[in-house]
């Protein structure tokens, strides 16, 4: 088998804020990612299942069930899987320090990268004052957020019919609301401060649905994003280098490159790992990312440490 046919393999993969059980969850894209990428260790950094939404109304399509079974199969077949519950799946916090289906449940964890850096792994809701001190307001905000996600779903349905790829209306609006931007900045600073207190080199979290990787003082702050708006994951290669993968954009770029004119969002599991391996081998991904595959806010597809 040639190198271009191999699926990308990482030392570690972090995903969070999947929100299974909601209509906004991009389960098909996540399944595509899980089928095309392999890893030694997977971190599930909270809000994998949306218990808040499921309490209100039951929604559990086959694709959501398939995400759970795919992750469990990876654990059963030798991958290390660590689940750090978030506020939306806080029911799982009752089982911290236990193992279910080869999956370890932890309140937080310390991960050491291949190059010796220590990273604090937390969901991050404990640094959200609304969640911590005014849970009723968090529930109200969750209702408004789900309305925005519903509008986003209809909007992307129209985009697909017109031959365009996925784009997050809710993320676009959030990034342009002054108070939301200030909240993100305050959250990132608070999380980085906690990592510094614990004397680690960096932190990986989720919760705010805002993928990011940057230095805050002497701390490497990483947020792996979500699978509702940005469809992102944080990965570590065999040398310890960290990178954010924007899977929806990578999927669109790969399908446009391989089959011009085809709707890249029309069907999951299209061998994107192989296509992205081809990009990396030929060097075409660098040019494509810099010229035509920018995110709406100017952020490139991948950010490396």
Residue 1 lies in a domain: no
CA distance 235 to 11: 8
List the structure tokens of 29: 């894209």
Question: CA 294 to CA 253: how far, in whole Å?
Answer: 10
Average pLDDT, the chain: 79
Model confidence at 4, pLDDT cuts 50, 70, 90, reads very low
Confidence of residue 235 (pLDDT cuts 50, 70, 90): very high
Residue 176 lies in a domain: yes
DSSP secondary structure letters along 43-104: EE-S-SB-HHHHHHS----HHHHHHHHHHHHHHHTT-EEEE---STTGGGGGGTT-EETTEE
Does the pLDDT value for residue 1 go beyond 60? no
pLDDT at position 128 is 74
pLDDT digits (tens, 9 = 90+) for 199-234: 999 999 999 999 999 999 999 999 999 999 889 999
- pLDDT on residue 286: 38
Query: Residue 251's pLDDT band (boundaries 50, 70, 90)?
Result: confident
The pLDDT of residue 269: 45
Q: Report d(CA 39, CA 235) in Å as an integer.
A: 9
Beta bridge partners of 9: 38
Q: Using only the alpha carbons of the chain, give its radius of gyration.
A: 18
The pLDDT of residue 258: 57
Distance CA 40, CA 47 (A): 22
Which tokens is 82 given?
């660590």
Domain range for 130 is 11-304
Residue 72 has pLDDT above 80, yes or no: yes
State how far the Cα of 18 lies from the Cα of 33, in Å rounded to an integer: 13
Q: Is the pLDDT confidence value at 50 over 60?
A: yes
Helix (H, G, I), strand (E, B) or coil at 234: strand
SS3 155: helix
Question: Residue 59, exposed/middle/buried by CB under 10 A (0-12, 13-18, 19+)?
Answer: middle
Is residue 5 included in any domain, yes or no? no
Strands 38-44 and 9-15: parallel
Confidence at residue 284, expressed as pLDDT on a 0 to 100 scale: 38
The CATH number of residue 19's host domain is 3.60.21.10
Amino acid 130: pLDDT:
38
Q: Distance between CA 163 and CA 156 in Å, rounded?
A: 10
Spatial distance between the Cα atoms of 239 and 190, rounded to a whole number of angstroms: 29
Is the residue at 291 inside a domain?
A: yes
Q: With 50 as the cut, is the pLDDT of residue 304 above it? A: no
Tell me the percentage of the chain whose pLDDT exceeds 90: 55
Choice among 35-49, 181-195, 279-293 with the minimum mean pLDDT:
279-293
SS3 letters across 7-53: CCEEEEEEECCCCECCCCCCHHHHHHHHHHCEEEEEEECCCCECHHH
Total of domains in the chain: 1
Residue 207 covered by a domain = yes
Write out pLDDT tens, residues 253-291.
Answer: 777 665 555 544 444 444 555 555 544 443 433 344 333
Q: Is 4 among the domain residues?
A: no
Q: Tell me: the pLDDT tens digits for 77-132?
A: 999 999 999 999 999 999 999 999 999 999 999 999 999 999 999 999 988 753 34
What is the share, in percent, of the chain residues with pLDDT greater than 70?
Answer: 64
Residue 115 has a pLDDT of 98
Helix (H, G, I), strand (E, B) or coil at 213: strand
The answer to whether position 110 is within a domain reads: yes
pLDDT at 7 (0 to 100)? 81
pLDDT of residue 226: 97
CA angle 222, 226, 231 (to 5 degrees): 110
């Amino acid at each position: 088998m040639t190198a271009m046919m191999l699926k990308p393999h990482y030392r570690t993969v972090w995903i969070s804020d999947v929100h299974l059980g909601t209509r906004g969850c991009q389960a098909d894209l996540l399944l595509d990612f899980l089928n095309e990428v392999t890893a030694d260790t997977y971190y599930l950094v909270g809000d994998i299942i949306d218990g808040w939404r499921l309490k209100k109304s039951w929604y559990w399509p086959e694709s959501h069930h398939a995400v759970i079974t795919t992750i469990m199969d990876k654990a059963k077949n030798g991958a290390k899987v660590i689940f750090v519950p978030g506020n939306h799946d806080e029911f799982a916090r009752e089982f911290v320090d236990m193992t279910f289906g080869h999956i370890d449940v932890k309140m937080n964890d310390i991960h050491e990268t291949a190059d010796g850096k220590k990273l604090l792994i937390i969901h991050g809701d404990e640094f959200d004052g609304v969640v911590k001190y005014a849970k009723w307001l968090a529930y109200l905000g969750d209702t408004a957020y789900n309305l925005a996600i519903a509008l986003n779903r209809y909007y992307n349905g129209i985009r697909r019919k017109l031959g365009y790829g996925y784009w997050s209306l809710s993320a676009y609006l959030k990034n342009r609301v002054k108070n939301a931007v200030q909240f993100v900045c305050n959250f990132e600073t608070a999380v980085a401060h906690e990592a510094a207190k614990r004397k680690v080199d960096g932190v990986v979290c989720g919760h705010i649905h805002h993928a990011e990787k940057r230095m805050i003082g002497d701390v490497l702050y990483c947020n792996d994003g979500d699978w509702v708006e940005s469809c992102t994951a944080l990965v570590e290669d065999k040398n310890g280098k960290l990178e954010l993968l924007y899977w929806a954009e990578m999927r669109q770029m790969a399908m446009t490159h391989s089959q011009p004119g085809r709707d890249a969002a029309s069907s999951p599991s299209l061998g994107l790992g192989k296509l992205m391996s081809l990009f990396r081998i030929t060097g075409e991904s660098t040019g494509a990312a810099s010229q035509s595959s920018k995110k709406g806010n100017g952020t490139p597809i991948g950010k490396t440490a």
